[in-house]
Amino acid sequence: MALLKPRRLEYPFTPEQVGSLRAGQFVLVSGLVYTARDRIHKYFFDGGKSPVDLKNAALYHCGPVVIRKDSDWVVRAAGPTTSIREEPYLPRIIKDHGVRVIIGKGSMGKVTEGACKAGGCVYLHAVGGAAQVLAEKVVSVKGLYFGEEFGLAEAMWVLELKDFPAIVAIDSKGHNLLRRVKSASLRMGRKLMKSSDPFIP
C-alpha cells in the first residue's frame, strides 16, 4: 500500500473530505479538535448540551497534560488514550452532534464500525504513547470547557493542531483495519498452534 503521500485533513471536516478516506491511509490533521474522555462522553450520552457546535468536528480521546504559563495554556503531553471505553457512547454522540472524526487508540468493534458507517465518520488511530511528538503538533490551546466540573484531565480542551499524524483505522464505509489485522493474526495463531512442530525439550 502506498503510504508515502499522507492525506491532509483540515477542520471543518466535510463529508466529502472524510468520505474519501480509506482504512489504512496515513493522514495529517490540522485545525480545531476537541478532547473528550469518559466524563464528557457520558455527559453527551445522557443528553448533555455541548458548549460548542460539534458538527463536522473531531473528538480526540486524550487527557493532555497542560500547564499555565503566564496567561497562556501550554500543552506538555498530548498522546491518545484507549478508545474502546467510549465505544458504547459513540453511536449516539456521532448521531446527535454530527461529529465526523474520532481520534484515539486501540481496537474498536462493530459498534464503532456501524456508527462510522451511519454517520459518515472515521476513526483515526494516533501513535500510542508518543506524548512528546504529538504535543508538538498542538500549536495552541483555544479554549477549555468543563474544567471545573470534570477536572483538567477530563475536561474538553479546544486544541489547534498542525499536521497531527494518524492512520485511518475505520473509514466511513465501516472498513476496520484493526479488525483485519486481528482476524489474520487469529488465523495465523491457530495455524502455529496446529503445526506439526510442537515445542519439545
Partner 1 sequence: MKNHVQWESSLFELIRRTSVDLPCDIEQGLRRACKTEKKSSRARWILEALLENVQKARDNDAPLCQDTGSLIFYFQVPVGFDTNALASATRLAVARATRLGYLRQNTIDSVSGSACATNVAYGAPTFYFEQCARGTVDVRLLMKGGGCENVGKQYSLPAESLGAGRDLEGVRRCVLDAVVSAQGNGCAPGILGVCIGGDRATGYECSKSQFLRKLDDKSPVKILARLEDRLLKESKVLEIGPMGLGGNTALLGLKIGSMSRVPASFFVTVSYMCWAFRRRGAVLTVRGGFKKWLY
Contact residues toward partner 1 (CB under 8 A) are 1-4, 24, 26, 63-65, 67, 76-79, 82, 84, 105-107, 125, 127-133, 136, 151, 165, 167, 169, 177-178, 181-182, 184-186, 188-189, 192-193, 198-201
Closer by beta carbon to ligand SF4, 52 or else 135: 135
SS3 for 150? Answer: helix
Q: Which amino acid is at 5?
A: K
Minimum gap (Å) between residue 12 Cβ and partner 1: 26
Q: How many residues bind ligand SF4 (CB under 6 A)?
A: 2
129 binds ligand SF4 (CB under 6 A): yes
Could you say which of ligand SF4, partner 1, none residue 127 binds, taking C-beta under 5 to 8 angstroms by partner kind?
partner 1
Which residue's CB comes closest to ligand SF4? Answer: 129
106 binds ligand SF4 (CB under 6 A): no
CA–CA dist 37, 155 (Å, integer): 8
12 binds ligand SF4 (CB under 6 A): no
Locus of grid cell 499536521: 163
128 binds ligand SF4 (CB under 6 A): yes
Minimum gap (Å) between residue 129 Cβ and ligand SF4: 2
Closer by beta carbon to partner 1, 99 or else 170: 170
CA–CA dist 11, 28 (Å, integer): 11
Instruction: Kindly provide the residue ranges of all beta strands, DSSP E only, lying in the chain, ordered along the sequence.
Output: 7-10, 26-35, 58-60, 65-69, 72-77, 101-104, 122-125, 138-145, 156-170
CA–CA dist 25, 13 (Å, integer): 16
Pairing of strands 58-60, 101-104: parallel
CA angle (147 as vertex; 47, 144 as ends), nearest 5: 90
Could you say which of partner 1, ligand SF4, none residue 181 binds, taking C-beta under 5 to 8 angstroms by partner kind?
partner 1
φ/ψ (deg, to 5) at 10: -130, 140
132 binds ligand SF4 (CB under 6 A): no
Which positions lie near ligand SF4, rule CB under 6 A? 128-129
